[in-house]
Homo-oligomer: A and B are copies of this chain.
């Protein structure tokens, strides 16, 4: 772990001195996103705090993925997208030309619903990020790969076949590989979009454990359709509905005493 700490100090985008528990990493103000004419996110205000797990829940199509993808500007890869409002990452506005997306994304990892390893070896998958960010040194790469795989709790399972194709892994292992691939660029934040919905119960459990471990080092925003998962692993939960935020609160509060009746209906499975 110290390795990472060292690296972090060297790279940190915006060094904050007072290690306050509620230091915001992302602040979103009045965010609107349109796909063509369809208004996918409406006036979102949301703060994501450092070294917390923030869960985003809501029925299908409510804009969860859209929100997550706005945070690393992947949303702009879709056709005909319009964005207004303000999003800051560690104090820097990320929308518009101010920050190159490549820079933002090298600070913010993302894990997708379906595991998406590259058609390369396990090693090459993890080394991909460091490589494109200019690390050529073999020893350094080896260290980063091992370190990342260990943190993703995958090292023991794959250390004997690092140079075999990533497709030989099971779905759950692939997903943890994708998390390792994120960790290798030493991100400040990891965004996860339903990372366990395609996994079996055992793999799901492993990924949840992994989240519990890495949240000591990394800020996590996770989209999930599994209310129980949200309540198990997150510190704060935001409930989205039809492109709006209905409610956002400490997870325990939101699940026990939601303010809005729609939240109540949703977490009790009355729809969605």
Residue A116 is within 8 A (CB to CB) of chain B in the complex: no
Number of copies: 2
Q: Is the CB of A271 within 8 A of B60?
A: no
* From A61, A197, A204, A270, residue with most partner B Cβ within 10 Å: A270
Q: Is the CB of B60 within 8 A of A228?
A: no
**B contact residues around A61 at 8 Å (CB):** 200
Q: Is the CB of B269 within 8 A of A200?
A: no
Which of B197, B199, B227, B270 is A269 in contact with, Cβ under 8 Å? B227
Closest approach, in angstroms, between the C-beta of A219 and any C-beta of chain B? Answer: 24
Which of B59, B226, B266, B272 is A272 in contact with, Cβ under 8 Å? B226
Q: How far is the CA of A197 from the CA of B199 in the complex (A)?
A: 18
* From A198, A200, A242, A265, residue with most partner B Cβ within 10 Å: A200
Which of B226, B227, B271 is A201 in contact with, Cβ under 8 Å? B271
Residue total for A at the interface (Cβ-Cβ under 8 A): 24
Closest approach, in angstroms, between the C-beta of A205 and any C-beta of chain B? Answer: 6
Q: Is the CB of A268 within 8 A of B228?
A: yes
Give residues of chain A (207-260) contacting chain B, Cβ–Cβ below 8 Å: 226-229, 241-242
Which of B60, B197, B205 is A60 in contact with, Cβ under 8 Å? B197
Q: How far is the CA of A197 from the CA of B200 in the complex (A)?
A: 19
**B contact residues around A268 at 8 Å (CB):** 228
Q: List 11 A-B contacts (CB under 8 A).
A: A60-B200, A61-B200, A200-B242, A201-B265, A201-B270, A201-B272, A202-B271, A204-B271, A226-B269, A226-B272, A228-B269
Q: Which 4 A-B pairs have the closest CB atoms?
A: A228-B269, A201-B271, A204-B271, A226-B269
Taking A60-B199, A201-B265 as given, write out 12 further A-B residue pairs in contact, using a Cβ cutoff of 8 Å, ordered by the A residue number: A59-B201, A60-B197, A200-B242, A201-B241, A201-B266, A202-B271, A204-B271, A204-B272, A226-B269, A227-B269, A228-B269, A228-B270
Q: Which residues of A contact B (CB under 8 A)?
A: 59-61, 197-202, 204-205, 226-229, 241-242, 265-266, 268-272
